[in-house]
Structure 1
Amino acid sequence: MKNSKIISKALIIFAIPVVFACEGNDDDNPQIENEAELITVLNITLINPVTNDTTFAVFSDPDGPGGISPTVTPITLKYTGENGQYLAHVEVLDSSNPNDVEQINPEILEEADMHQFFYLPNTEAGEVVNISYDPQEIDSNGNPLGISSIWNVLGLTNQGETVTIVLRHSPNKGGAGVATGDITNAGGETDIEVTFQLEIQPE
């Protein structure tokens, strides 16, 4: 009987450190949620619903940051003085593994409250194109997501016009101006930022 009590006490003593060791492992390896996405490709498609003019532009950096320089094609639009509106749609992908190219748009849509695209014309581009969000595409709080946008063409390009497209992860969507596309007070982390040359030509 005495030996049985001694064995029981010994088992309790040795069991205590095991319990604490398991708890320590949990603390050393916290679960990371909502990590920023790796994006190596950004495609933008723009369609004029009146003339059916369609244009594509692509940013591609398959080996990711720091490797071979990415390729970026210009955004080329047509303008005649009327019917100058284009409906744009952005698609982003992770092609770092060519055998398993991942579509990122579904994840962005699923986590719409935590993402927002921004469209930033430089000063010259701002004189020839006005970009706004698609009012039908909003998150659960009624804030824009920006996968879809509306481009109103106001004139022809001359030289030096660019539009930068930025995807922010966990932006402050309530910040001043953020809902209308001003990135100044958005904060958050940048998932991808691409500057496209903008060319607007006569039709």
Structure 2
Amino acid sequence: MPTRASRFVLGLGLTSFLSLAGCVDDTVGDGESGADDHDHDHDHNEETEIITTVTLTFTPQGGGSPVVAAFNDPDGDGGVSGESDPISLTTGTSYDLAIAFTNELVDPPEEITAEIEEEAEQHQIFVYGEGVSGPAAGDDPTALVVHAYADLESSYGPNEVGEDLPVGLLGTVMAANAGTGSLQVRLQHLPELNGSPQKVPGLAESLAAGELLPGEVDASVSFMLTVQ
């Protein structure tokens, strides 16, 4: 495990964005994650970093131009609310999905993705939403897209604690059915608690079942999704 723990926090403009998008199931902070009761056990010396931009890149597996959509909160916790690009995918097409996190408040921009890779055993990304089927969304044959993980902790370094679990920076997305909906991306920070890992098997399935997750929500953003 890395000796330096980092906490990544999406700019406060996210709150207004989520309200605008009509997504009320997630917020930034401890309350939604169920972590308040254990706050005194957290490492208060961990480094806090800002995330201003979340970028999704869908690359067709059969070739073709990638589809890129980003959530951007240009002033972090300033007064401007973040906005997201719409996602438009083609029915019957399978895509490789890459998710990137960036802090653009500094010059040059800081690639938070690399730090998540370094702390892969402390982070997991969940993809779900109205129109999504997959580990964090549950099975739905009528869903617009089907998401699956395509990486493990060992993809980024030695798996030193517990099982070799998904991270979610890489995935696959199959555009299965035409329609409109939403796609949600959530980055969960899961540091060890009292010497025991909080990142354990089955977290995605727990989220799909409506259960609270351990750890803290570092980022939660929503995108309009169209499959045609």
**Are the counterparts in 1 of residues 53 and 103 from structure 2 also a CA contact under 8 Å?**
yes
The one of 148, 153, 177 equivalent to 1:138 is 153
- 4+ long deviations beyond 6 Å: none
Higher Rg of the two aligned structures: 1
2:177 aligned to which of 155, 165, 169? 155
Cα distance in 2 for residues equivalent to 1:189 and 1:36: 12
Alignment partner, residue 49 of structure 2: 37
Amino acid at match of 2:146: N
Mapped partners of 2:149, 2:48: distance in 1: 23
What is the 5 A alignment of 1:17-36?
Answer: 32-36=44-48
Aligned match of 1:49: 61
Residue 123 (structure 2) aligns with: 115
- Cα separation, 2, equivalents of 1:44 and 1:181: 24
Tell me the secondary structure at the aligned position of residue 67 of structure 1: coil
CA distance in 2, matches of 1:37, 1:85: 33
Matching of residue 87 in structure 1 with residue 109 in structure 2: no
* Paired position in structure 2 for 1:18: none
Question: Is residue 77 from structure 1 mapped to residue 98 from structure 2 by the alignment?
Answer: no
Kindly indicate whether the alpha-carbon contact (under 8 Å) linking 1:167 and 1:193 is maintained by their aligned counterparts in 2: yes
Counterparts of 2:167 and 2:46 in 1: how far apart (Å)? 17
Q: Structure 1 residue 196 and structure 2 residue 208: aligned?
A: no
1:154 is displaced (CA, Å) by 1.1
Sequence identity (%):
28
Q: Please state if 1:173 is matched with 2:199.
A: yes
Name the counterpart of 1:26.
none
| TM-score (norm: length of structure 1) | 0.71
What is the count of residue pairs matched by the alignment? Answer: 162
Amino acid at match of 1:103: E
Contact 1:119 1:131 in 2 (8 A): yes
How far apart in 2 are the matches of 1:103 and 1:174? 26
Q: CA deviation at 1:179?
A: 5.2
Distance 1:188 1:71, change over 3 A: same
Change (3 A) 1:125 1:111: closer
Paired AA for residue 165 in structure 2: N
Q: Distance in 2 between matches of 1:137 and 1:52?
A: 26
Cα 1:155/1:46, change in 2 over 3 Å: same
Worse overlay, 33-42 or 111-120: 33-42
Instruction: Give, in angstroms, the shift of residue 119 of structure 1.
Output: 0.4
Partner AA of 2:128 in structure 1: L
The structure richer in helix per residue is 1
Give the residue type in structure 1 aligned to 2:170.
S
Whole-Å Cα distance in 2 between the matches of residues 181 and 94 of structure 1?
A: 30
- 2:200, 2:65 → 1: CA distance? 36
1:102 counterpart = 2:117: no
Deviation, structure 1 residue 173 = 2.1
Following superposition, the deviation at residue 180 of structure 1 comes to 5.3
* 8 Å Cα contact 1:76/1:198 also seen in 2: yes
> For residue 58 of structure 1, what is the aligned residue in structure 2?
70
TM-score relative to the length of structure 2: 0.64
Gapped regions of structure 2 (runs ≥ 5): 1-42, 134-142, 192-197
